[in-house]
Structure 1
Amino acid sequence: MAYPTITSCSINVTSFFANTDEIILRLIQERFPQELERLKRAYSIPNPNATPPSTASPSQILFGSQFGEVNRTLVGLIALRWIYNDQYDTFRGTQPDPVALTRESFNWMRQVFKAGLNSEDDLTALITSIVVNDLGKDPQLAADYCSGTGEDISAQNHDLILLKAVEAGLVPSFDRLPENDKADIRRGMKLGAEFNFGQLAQAENVPVCLTALLEIRGHSRAFELRFMELLLDIAGASGHEDWTCAKRFLQSTLDTYRNVYDAAQAVISGSMGLRDAYDLVLVRRSQMLHEKGFRHLDIANAEDRALMRLLCMGGVANLSAAQLYDSVWVDLEVETKASLISDLNIDGSVDQPAILPTYAPALLRKGVDANGPGSTDEKRKRLRSLLRYLCRVLKLTGANIDGSVVVIERSLLTIVQDIVGSEDFWANPEILEAKEVPEGVVAQTSRNI
């Protein structure tokens, strides 16, 4: 079969939304060959219990093999077509009825995209953002950057690695864009490197991380492009397991990111300070759980606020999971709980730097699986060990940092991949408590504020 080619800088809107998925995938392969090769090497966290669909995945269509991050990226891109073409049933797919994205929420999201895509340049900029978004997960990108500049950035988060690689000319698709699109996408990348929407949605970061939003004032297109990219990233988040729909984009997910959108807009507009905007996410998540029967949490209270952050990181969206966390929280030894309360309430400053535990949500969700198999007692034991470990991760002790540091990042990816998903951990959760805490890297300084 002969496929149409891309002959101009911009991607044709009519062609992109009218052609079949396979034709569009071939067009993307033609336009972004080097980027897709990098995504083949990018790391992802597999789900050994997932049952894949019988149809061919995007990466199988293009390369004849399964590549997790290729599938996640391309499902996000296909989801743009589902949204724009009003394919609600396809987008929702296999989502369970009680938690599925509602038609009303899908319509709200569709309006975001309709308002944000006013031209072929807008579409091209958004698609480029989608494709390059996770290139920083390719270890070779940091290696190539080091070869060219002599600077080792391999320990940085993948958003910062991408930003530096773009600035060094290592992402060819970016260099093909018009200058105004480059400027807006670069602003969005810089925002993403310093402020991660998902980390706020999961209360993984801290209030000072919202400082980056101040720099986006006056650049609404850059913010809207970044937010649309975020929604599509979520839509493709389970693309390595199920490429037929946006499986993980549940109603609770949309509610959470609408809260993040409102919080971000409040900072950008100046109507809220950083702490108040951050707490807006916690308050609304607390209200949602309270409506489902969970006890009221007062976010102005340090202990309740700390617990709410853990509930957000754990992705807790129903009463039984909330009660599981609450029961373990109540029974935690006094010293551990006091330490968690203190450290989970640090906003991040020169006087009191905060720890940002990246992949803490994956740690809790993979380690506990509150809605999955296993007895309540088994889940309680696993969660107790996870909280004890997280207590050590969040503690800033003996760190050799200069006087400008406000946030230190510790990545728990290796612990998630090698420990919490193992049979040994599930049989004996206490093995985690003997593991070392990952080294920290400076994520934000007062010079970034």
Structure 2
Amino acid sequence: MRPRGYVGVVGPGSATAEQVQQAVTVGRLLAEQGLVVVTGGLGGVMAGAARGCTEAGGTSLGLLPGDDRAAANPHLSVTVPTGLGEMRNALLVRACDAVIAVGNSWGTVSEIALAARTGVPVVLLGGLRLFDEVPVADHDVRAPRHAASPEDAVAAVLTDLGLERSPAREGGESAYDGWVLGVDGARGGWTGALLPSAGRGTVRLVAGPDLDTLVSRARAGCEVRLVAVDTPVGLPDTGRRQADVLVRRRLGRRGSSVFATPVRDALAAESYAEARRISVARTGGTSLAAQSYALRRAILDVDGYVRSKDPERVPVVEVHPELCFAVMAGAPLDSSKKTVEGVHEREGLLLAQGVRLPSGVALDRRGADDLLDAAAAAWSAARVVRGEAVRHPELPERFSDGIDAAIWV
């Protein structure tokens, strides 16, 4: 999507916790409106705005005062080491269509003054009243405005730039496309990863004992457009699903990660022995693996959600994390997701796609692979929403449940 504008977010590097949180919110709201966030690239307010922008899947630009790119905060999409020192403040202001100042410092004051003097709209968040006393005698000068909250500040910028909130794109889509939820099984239920539909950003982690609870918790804080689960969607009555056969074949050496989906009646059996008997009868002699039967509760949970008549139900597609990672890498992975090497390889592939886990997540603990799988599922869900995904098979199968059976990536 072409950016709707460039908005500078300026403020002290040694900001208070409240100022940083305000900057995070400002960055997120700007990104949701399709605006590029421009900062000085360092810490405090600058890092907060970049972080909020990244979490919403937006683009953030950091104009560093020095010539060391390593000095940039880790949340930026693009960094430019200007080597200009304090003169980079003027470059930042001239690069922006509007500026939001969160808090104040001497550097921030200079940026506000430069913006006002050159007619760039400025919104002040943080109560700085110094500029209220400066007369506006020149037609080129634009007096700064005050805002009481991040929401008010962003609304003021949209007004100054003549932009409507979340306008329609070509084709009628909203400029802000909401979120997708990737889901993987975990101890005690499900783990979920929320990702902006743009397919980039820091995921938000959620958990729940069942799929309905998980989705409800995810929707409590944002609009969820699509759910992608690493669990069969569409259960066969007899034989094997083409989705499983095709993905197993495509994964080659990692194909063993694809379990054959049990026939529906086998999942209804109360014992493993009975399930095996039904499977042999319905598949022409193929027994049911214990590992597949162990997934019975999870499969039926997803099936119940997908077949629900609730009009508020979020659409669900099936994905396979190892297939997701294979597509990211260009080939099936050699490493196992249960090894340290495998965990780091998968994290690196996600990072290369612009998908980050939240700071503080320990990837050396049990269940780290579930978090990575959920994030990969969210990545595929975003591809589905954007019309970039493919499915296996291309023409989904349908069984007696009437549900499209296909694995997306």
TM-score by length of 2: 0.26
Bigger fraction of residues in helix: 1
